[in-house]
Amino acid sequence: MRVTELQTFGVLTNNLARARARALEFQQQVSTGKLVRQPSDDPSAFNHIALDKASLAAIEQRKRNIVFGQTRLDLSDKALSNAMSSLSRVQQLAVQFRNDTNSAADRVIGAKEVRQLFAQLQQTANTELNNQPIFTGTSTHGRATGLAITTPMTLINGSNDTLIVTVDGTTSGTIDLTAGTESLTGAQLAARVQSRINADTTLINAQKSVTVTFEGDRLVIASDMSGSQSTVRVTGGLSRAALGFAGGSETTGGAPFALTATVASAVGNTGGVLAGQGRVADDNAAPLDDYVIRFTSPTTYDVLNVTALVTTSRGASNTGGVAVRDAGMVNAAQLTLHNYQIQFTSPTQYSVVDQTTSTTLSSGNTYVSGEAISFAGLRVVLATGQQGGPQTGDTFSVSLSPKNVLTSQTYVSGSEISFDGIRMTLTNGTGAPATGDLFSVVSGLQYQGDAGVHAIEVGTDQTVPTNVAGNRAFIAGGIDLFAEVKQLISALRGNDRLGISAALGQLNQGVSQVAAIQGEVGATSNRLTTSAAQLEEAKSFFITTLSETEDVDLAKAISDLTLQQYAIEAASRTLTKVFENSLLNYL
């Protein structure tokens, strides 16, 4: 077979090119340290490398998740520790001022410190991380909370079946709740009100909607919008009073734990005024006291602070040895602001008489020394002394001594009434107010978060919650800590020793409640620590596997590169020699 010079030259040139390509490959391996850089290098190995890198990326993300989760849990733990410190101080003050050596003035001073501790506790409960409250679910919603109602409730078309609401500043049309006559349970009533509000054309066009629940014995209408602009107010309709919204409270969604002012009309009112939902506009100005608005005429009213002393006096002609041990205001919504008298009809029985109206509230009551006698929102404790028990004809006068907040104010239907950081409205319904009509305004605090969970992924199909439901820690865990601290404030201001003792007992349980939640936080944090260690071990494993598959043997690669360079040099010299003897060189 004849071998031409062109064939020889071509073979040598191709060999040189392949040698250079091979050298370039070795050079890239040496410079990058990688044996497999692209699928063509080793398809099977490249697939394993891609999977290992994906696993490492997932591990790194989960580690970042854990860092964020631990930050959130650490902040929760710190906040709960602060809450425990605040509660501990409240307990100390309760024990201190329960002692009979303290005067009424001393207890009022103590109430001021407890009020600040309440604010501190509220601030702790509203702690945020990256503008997200740590003791709530995923959002906070403003809401209107009604008064207690009795269910099942009968809705009758044309009688008590319409409602008008304002949601996030948008007022609905007249909402029709039924076309006939229906008896609905609490849950059914909530579902009906929700569906009909959300079907209102005006609210739909404004993209507003609500969620309605029946909590305990009252309806709660919450805006589906989250944040401080989230509000709900019931402003009209035939069903307003029946559903409990001729009064109640209103809050915004600005914080998970918000102060409230619940307005309610007294049972004995004879006028036709309807109350709106009360709201706290300034937390700092609200002293956590309770109030009564009293109409002194159809056109004027007073605002009275009823978190005050209950004045009691022993009848001048008493012959028994019974004395007043304690007295206090226990329910502002039941107050009538009348004068009362406890009258012993025998050494073992007594009657309670309303002296303002000359009516007997109760009779034939059995006297038990040291047992509380409760009536019209007041409580009195009588106890047998060393001189013996009560005698027939013994009497004890009882009255509340409220403090004036506003006096002789002119009533204008629908105008806002403002005092001590609280805002509310009274509006003529079936008529104007009547002289003597009363409206209570009871302060409190409610939780406005949801049940959402902030969960992080720590493994395949493995998530860990990193938020604590604040209502469990502070309100819904068995003891409403805010209500008990508020009760203590009221008892201190009212010089009510029994109230102080009762609040102290509940606070002792509340401390255990917070401690239990803090234990859950610690356990979750430990779980994240363990998960982080496991992820670090998995990371080391994948790094090792990836290195074995992807990384080059540097010493071997350098040796191969050197040998290939020798091959290139030899091929180049051979090609040069061939070219020197070629006819092409002579031509």
pLDDT given at position 20 = 58
Are the CB atoms for 273 and 426 separated by under 8 Å? yes
The answer to the question of residue 503 being in a domain is yes
Asked whether residue 509 falls in the same domain as residue 582, the answer is no
Residue 329 has pLDDT above 80, yes or no: yes
User: 70-74: which pairs have CB atoms within 8 A and are 24 or more residues apart?
Assistant: 70/525, 70/528, 70/529, 70/532, 71/129, 72/129, 72/134, 72/454, 72/466, 72/467, 73/466, 73/521, 73/524, 73/525, 73/528, 74/525
pLDDT given at position 575 = 58
The answer to the question of residue 71 being in a domain is yes
Asked whether residue 368 falls in the same domain as residue 315, the answer is yes
Domains identified in the chain, total number: 3
The answer to the question of residue 112 being in a domain is yes
Asked whether residue 58 falls in the same domain as residue 39, the answer is no
When pLDDT is cut at 50, 70 and 90, the band that residue 1 belongs to is: low
Asked whether residue 506 falls in the same domain as residue 473, the answer is yes
Among 377, 400, 423, the domain boundary falls at 400
Q: Which of 88, 47, 194, 210 is nearest to 143 (CA)?
A: 210
Q: What domain range includes position 29?
A: 5-48+552-586
The answer to the question of residue 448 being in a domain is no
Asked whether residue 91 falls in the same domain as residue 116, the answer is yes
The answer to the question of residue 238 being in a domain is no
Both tokens of residue 285? Answer: 């100005």
Convert 453-476 into a string of H (helix), E (strand) and C (coil): CCEEEEECCEEEECCCCHHHHHCC
Asked whether residue 513 falls in the same domain as residue 579, the answer is no
CATH at residue 503: 1.20.1330.10
Among 379, 400, 421, the domain boundary falls at 400
The answer to the question of residue 193 being in a domain is no
When pLDDT is cut at 50, 70 and 90, the band that residue 553 belongs to is: very low
Asked whether residue 72 falls in the same domain as residue 19, the answer is no
pLDDT per residue as tens digits for the range 267-318 = 989 999 999 999 999 999 999 999 999 999 999 999 999 999 999 999 999 9
pLDDT given at position 23 = 52
Of the CA atoms within 13 Å of residue 345, those in its CB half-sphere come to 11
pLDDT per residue as tens digits for the range 14-59 = 655 565 556 556 555 555 555 455 555 556 655 665 676 677 788 8
* CB burial string 19-56: b at 16+ within 10 A, e below: bbebbebbebbeeeeebbbeeebbeeebebbeebeebb
Handedness of CA 113, 117, 119, 123 (dihedral sign): positive
- Measured from the Cβ of residue 550, the count of other Cβ atoms closer than 10 Å reads 21
- Measured from the Cβ of residue 174, the count of other Cβ atoms closer than 10 Å reads 11
Asked whether residue 392 falls in the same domain as residue 317, the answer is yes
> Which of 119-133, 465-479, 546-560, 570-584: highest mean pLDDT?
119-133
The answer to the question of residue 125 being in a domain is yes
Among 381, 400, 419, the domain boundary falls at 400
User: What is the pTM (predicted TM-score) of this model?
Assistant: 0.83
pLDDT per residue as tens digits for the range 179-191 = 999 999 999 999 9
**Residue 302 burial class via C-beta count within 10 angstroms: exposed 0-12, middle 13-18, buried 19 and up:** middle
pLDDT given at position 551 = 53
Both tokens of residue 586? Answer: 């002579």
